[in-house]
Amino acid sequence: MTRPVSRQRRAASPRGGSSGLATALAARLATAAVTVAVAALTVQWAYATLLASVSLARARRASEEGRHREAESLLARMTEPSELHAEAQYYLGRALFARGDLTGAARALERAQATIRDYLLDHDLAVVLAKLGCYDRAWIYADRGYRFNPADGGLRTLLARLEVTRARLRVLPAGTVRPNEAEICAVNNRKPRPAASTERLLARAESLGPEEAELRRSAGQVWLSIGHDAQAEASFRAVLRRERADATAILGLAEVLARPAPAGKSAGGAATAHRRREALTLLLSLLQSAQLSAGDLQHAVWVLEGLREQDPENIPAALYLARAQLRSGGAEAAVRTAERALAHAEVAELHYVRGAALQALGNSPAAVAAYARAVELLPQHLAARAALAAVNGSELRDSGT
């Protein structure tokens, strides 16, 4: 027979069981609420990620098709967790670069490269930094990309150009305003590496782009400025093998050829005369160009003045110098050059150039005498005959006869 339970125990038991059940139920409800919240957050995150992925895919396609403003708009609307996504930052950087926001592009691309190790990203970032004037910083990324993929021609050319630019900045004249990298390149906290010697920079640049005319031209100018004539000559000749009419290379090579041999390293009279003749031939071909810039013309005058000082009896050098001076607006200098040369030899063309310079100065009687002397020395000098007739005709018209 079952033992009866006391009234007190029967009364207490239902109350204790109800409390435990409530606690368990509350715990289960709390767990379920947390699970639901986590699930909701997961769904929200997945949805945001899906939207971001769709936006990123559209932005990528827009960027590849050149629609950079559309790409930027799509990327700007992207929310967490993808707004700092490396690929999104890469395409945002490209879009900002296309719009001309170089600083914004550099920041976006550097955020991307913090996660992505890709030589194409290194190339794009180096290009942006170079346009900002951050040549040392640009070199770091170009060098890294080139080491990753030495077969990439674009990176090789970019790296070579940066080497030449860094070398050029090292030999700027005193007082020249240099790029302030500490201010311009404040896109991260990395310090640029110190540049190697100018010679090593140039040598590496030319080894990277031995057949690129623009690079060899720039390298030649730097070689020339630091007194390495042999390397400058090799660079300018390499340019002229590809571009025979390149004015910078012609002037640079002519300057090298016209320079006197260093003390104790005389190349001999015949060799020196041959180099001077080659320099004059180059300058003559250049002066015959109608498209010669004022700066190139002044450079030619400077080289020819050097040739004349080394050899005052060099009539071709004096003749080309007088022509160049007259063409550059230096009529008085042209008269003096022609007269100095005529003291050594009477040449019809020198009298003609002197006459043209005198005419430019408004001295018609003296010009007539010079033209007449040119015709006397060389009756077949058609230009002198025409100029003489023109001056005489003008004087007749002015006198009213």
How big is the CA angle at 128 (ends 122 and 129), to the nearest 5 degrees? 85
Task: Tell me, yes or no, whether 45 and 82 share the same domain.
Answer: yes
Per-residue model confidence (pLDDT) at position 120: 86
Same domain, 356 and 340: no
CA angle 150, 156, 161 (to 5 degrees): 155
Residue 36 near residue 69, CB atoms below 8 Å: no
pTM above 0.75, yes or no: no
CB 129 within 8 A of CB 102: no
**Angle, alpha carbons 316-373-298 (nearest 5°):** 35
Q: What is the CATH number of the domain that holds 112?
A: 1.25.40.10
Shared domain check, 335 and 296 = yes
Token look-up 């003296």 returns: 366
Do residues 339 and 357 share a domain?
Answer: no
- Are residues 281 and 314 located together in one domain of the fold? yes
Q: Is residue 303 part of a domain?
A: yes
d(CA 79, CA 50): 11
| Residue 166 pLDDT | 82
Q: At what angle do helices 247-258 and 269-287 cross, to 10 degrees?
A: 150
User: Does 11 reside within a domain?
Assistant: no
* CA dist., res. 126 & res. 261, Å (int): 41
339 and 363 in a single domain? The answer is: no
Q: Classify residue 327: in a domain, yes or no.
A: yes
The span from the CA of 258 to the CA of 236, in Å, is 14
Domain, as residue range, for 105: 36-116
Domains held by the chain: number: 3
User: Rounded to whole angstroms, how far apart are CA atoms 219 and 214?
Assistant: 9
Three-class DSSP category at 255: helix
d(CA 274, CA 165): 33
Residue 74 is predicted with a pLDDT of 62
Q: How far apart are CA 91 and CA 86, in angstroms?
A: 9
Buried b / exposed e over 120-150, threshold 16 CB at 10 Å, is ebbbbbbbbbbebbbbbbbbbbbbbbbeeee
Domain contains 12? no
Q: Looking at the domain assignment, is residue 55 inside a domain?
A: yes
Q: What is the pLDDT of residue 348?
A: 93
**pLDDT tens string 8-20:** 444 444 555 567 7
Give φ, ψ of 82 to 5 degrees.
-105, 0
State how far the Cα of 323 lies from the Cα of 100, in Å rounded to an integer. Answer: 45
Residues 383 and 370 in one domain: yes
Per-residue pLDDT at 369? 93
Q: Do residues 324 and 369 both lie within one domain? A: no
Task: Give the number of other CB atoms < 10 A from CB of residue 51.
Answer: 14
Q: Are residues 110 and 43 in the same domain?
A: yes
CATH value at residue 291: 1.25.40
| Start-to-end C-alpha separation, the chain | 165
- The per-residue pLDDT for 192 is 47
The encoded tokens of residue 224 equal 């020339």
Tell me which residue of 30, 75, 24, 78 sits closest to 51, measured CA to CA: 78
- 341 three-state secondary structure: helix
Two structure tokens written together for 16: 């204790």
What is the tens place of the pLDDT at every residue in 228-242? 899 999 999 999 999
Q: Amino acid identity, residue 324?
A: A
Chain-centroid distance of CA 19 in Å reads 82
Q: In this predicted structure, what is the pLDDT of residue 189?
A: 43
Classify residue 283: in a domain, yes or no.
yes
pLDDT at 234: 92
333 and 286 share one domain: yes
Q: Which residues of the chain have pLDDT under 70?
A: 1-18, 36-60, 62-66, 68-85, 172-196, 261-268, 394-401
Last residue of a domain, one of 345, 360, 377: 345
In a domain, 184, yes or no: no
Residues 6+ apart with CB under 8 A from 198: 167, 170, 171, 222, 226
Last residue of a domain, one of 65, 81, 116: 116
Would 398 be classed as within a structural domain?
yes
Q: What CA–CA distance (Å, rounded) separates 67 from 58?
A: 11
Same domain as 52, residue 79: yes
Which of 53, 87, 116 is where one domain is finished?
Answer: 116
